[in-house]
């Protein structure tokens, strides 16, 4: 069920809704009410602040207290939520809104003043509410769905609301794709979904099938796919507005299920491997937003889609493959397959002569160990591009940390029988994977690699969503493209 979001006019005492959200903070151990909360407290003759004191409410980040209105104002209940005073205001408001959406899932109509706490947070507030209300798809008989039907923002600009919805909707597209079981989202159905999204959002879409891939020499993608009964696809999306200032490329890993191939994962290691196309999902989600935001930049997106399965026809350790573009790789571990398919796509992207390439992939367990599940690791060959992209990540509220491309580790990829091996030294595995990918990026093309292995899936309730796919990188990609295309 989609949530209607709209601006509202009027005094906080006259807004009819099931729950009216106001903010609070803390200073020197005391609760500090927002202007809207103070107005309501006066209407209640100070009983609101007395109640907060009675329950030892501290006003800390995302702390929620619910107070019945007793008919004194039009809202049925008053919801006071803590908004941190520390850190970025956009992130603080987004997280507070998401917390409210989770807590108020049984309410139908919600009105909010959170965006009035700090200027420029209307869109972030919408993202928080919509993504916080998101429920992962389930087939449980007694599954609970959010009952939120409408969110009203007092004195908010329609354009800011619309922009927040674009970011939220794109992230939900990515989450829904990743949360779909691998038996349902095969490379073929993944491509079909991309075509449908493209037709609905004004994108050009072309899909290369196995025959065309073989004809054109996409050896990395074909090698990974050869163990599966489901054929691979190369999904190509394009956004080409009139007056585009430049062209950039996005590349997303699209392994719809990863068993590890003949280098088989453990049973536990396979449980969440439907998530292994999270990079491709983020790219598709980001592309879906462009026709609504209309940045003046041409964007090409490539998603190599395949399964990685064991069988009599599967690629074997020790095999040598030739990638699109001619470089060869000795495959020593078939579970290091993501880099093999991304390599083909990076060469194809480089042929389009973009001003920058960004790739996103659930690539290495090593990255999860290094940065955990809250911070995405990023590698770049260009300082200026990284600073630009890092600023977009901060605006989007998606924490990222630049990792080093340690040149000394490149030697560990040397092979006696091919241009490279697909694995190198055991230590610094995420760095080695990034160094491998760099070999396939065109000379002098600024490039960023996002390893979202740790952040693509939440094992519990996250800041802005439930357990399952996070849709991470989607909002940052949109923010980067939007700013770059101004």
The predicted-structure confidence for 385-395, as pLDDT tens digits, reads as follows 999 999 999 99
- Which value, in Å, is the radius of gyration of the alpha carbons in the chain? 24
Adjacent-strand bridge partners of 255:
306
82, 122, 128, 123: which is closest to 102 by C-alpha? 128
Sorted by sequence, the CB contacts under 8 Å of residue 427 that are 6+ apart come out as: none
Query: Cβ–Cβ contacts within 10 Å for residue 29, how many?
Result: 7
Residue 138: predicted pLDDT: 77
User: Under DSSP, is residue 216 helix (H, G, I), strand (E, B) or coil?
Assistant: helix
CA atoms within 13 A on the CB side of 457: 20
Say whether 265 is catalytic: yes
Catalytic residue among 58, 135, 265, 410: 265
Extract the residue ranges of the chain whose pLDDT is less than 70. Answer: 1, 87
Residue 1: predicted pLDDT: 53
Sorted by sequence, the CB contacts under 8 Å of residue 262 that are 6+ apart come out as: 227, 310, 314, 315, 316, 317, 334
Catalytic residue among 339, 395, 457, 475: 339
Adjacent-strand bridge partners of 110:
19, 151
The predicted-structure confidence for 310-337, as pLDDT tens digits, reads as follows 999 999 999 999 999 999 999 999 999 9
User: Under DSSP, is residue 158 helix (H, G, I), strand (E, B) or coil?
Assistant: helix
Structure-derived torsion over alpha carbons of residues 365, 367, 373, 376, reported in degrees to the nearest 10:
-140
Share of the chain above pLDDT 70, in %: 100
Say whether 339 is catalytic: yes
* Cα–Cα distance measured from residue 285 to residue 274, given in angstroms and rounded to the nearest whole number: 17
Please report the domains of the chain, with CATH numbers, ordered by start residue: 4-154 (3.40.220.10), 167-484 (3.40.630.10)
User: Under DSSP, is residue 157 helix (H, G, I), strand (E, B) or coil?
Assistant: coil
β-pairing, 77-82 vs 19-27, is parallel
* Cα–Cα distance measured from residue 309 to residue 239, given in angstroms and rounded to the nearest whole number: 33
Residue 465: predicted pLDDT: 81
């Amino acid at each position: 069920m989609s949530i209607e979001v709209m601006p509202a006019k009027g005094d906080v005492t006259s807004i009819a809704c099931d729950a009216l959200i106001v903010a609070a903070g803390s200073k020197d151990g005391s609760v500090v009410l927002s202007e809207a909360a103070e107005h309501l407290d006066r209407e209640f003759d100070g009983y609101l602040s007395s109640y907060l004191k009675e329950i030892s409410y501290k006003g800390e980040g995302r702390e929620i207290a619910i107070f019945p209105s007793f008919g004194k104002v039009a809202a049925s209940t008053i919801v006071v939520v803590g908004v941190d005073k520390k850190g970025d205001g956009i992130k603080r408001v987004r997280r507070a809104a998401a917390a409210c959406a989770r807590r108020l899932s049984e309410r139908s109509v919600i009105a909010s003043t959170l965006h009035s706490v700090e200027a420029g947070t209307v869109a972030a507030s919408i993202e928080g509410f919509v993504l916080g209300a998101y429920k992962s798809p389930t087939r449980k008989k007694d599954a609970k769905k959010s009952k939120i039907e409408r969110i009203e923002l007092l004195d908010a600009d329609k354009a800011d609301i619309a922009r927040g919805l674009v970011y939220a909707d794109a992230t939900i597209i990515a989450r829904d794709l990743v949360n779909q079981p691998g038996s349902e989202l095969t490379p073929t159905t993944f491509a079909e979904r991309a075509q449908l999204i493209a037709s609905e959002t004004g994108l050009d879409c072309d899909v290369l099938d196995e025959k065309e891939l073989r004809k054109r020499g996409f050896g990395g993608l074909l090698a990974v796919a050869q163990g599966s009964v489901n054929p691979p696809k190369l999904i190509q999306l394009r956004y080409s507005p009139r007056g585009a200032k430049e062209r950039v490329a996005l590349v997303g890993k699209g392994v719809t299920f990863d068993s590890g191939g003949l280098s088989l994962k453990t049973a536990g290691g396979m449980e969440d491997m439907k998530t292994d196309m999270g990079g491709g999902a983020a790219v598709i989600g980001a592309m879906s937003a462009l026709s609504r935001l209309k940045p003046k930049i041409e964007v090409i997106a490539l998603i190599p889609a395949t399964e990685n399965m064991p069988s009599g026809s599967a690629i074997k350790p020790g095999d040598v493959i030739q990638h699109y573009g001619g470089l060869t790789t000795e495959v020593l571990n078939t579970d290091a397959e993501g880099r093999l398919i991304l390599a083909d796509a990076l060469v194809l992207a480089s042929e389009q002569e973009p001003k920058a390439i960004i790739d996103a992939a659930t690539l290495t367990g090593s990255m999860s160990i290094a940065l955990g599940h809250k911070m995405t690791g990023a590698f770049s060959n260009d300082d200026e591009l990284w600073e630009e992209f890092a600023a977009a990540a901060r605006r989007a509220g998606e924490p990222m940390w630049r990792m080093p491309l340690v040149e000394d580790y490149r030697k560990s990829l040397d092979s006696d029988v091919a241009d490279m091996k697909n694995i190198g030294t055991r230590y610094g595995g995420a760095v080695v994977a990034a160094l491998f990918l760099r070999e396939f990026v065109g000379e002098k093309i600024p490039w960023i690699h996002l390893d979202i292995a740790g952040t693509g899936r939440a094992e519990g309730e996250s800041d802005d969503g439930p357990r399952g796919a996070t849709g991470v990188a989607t909002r940052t990609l949109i923010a980067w493209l939007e700013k770059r295309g101004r």
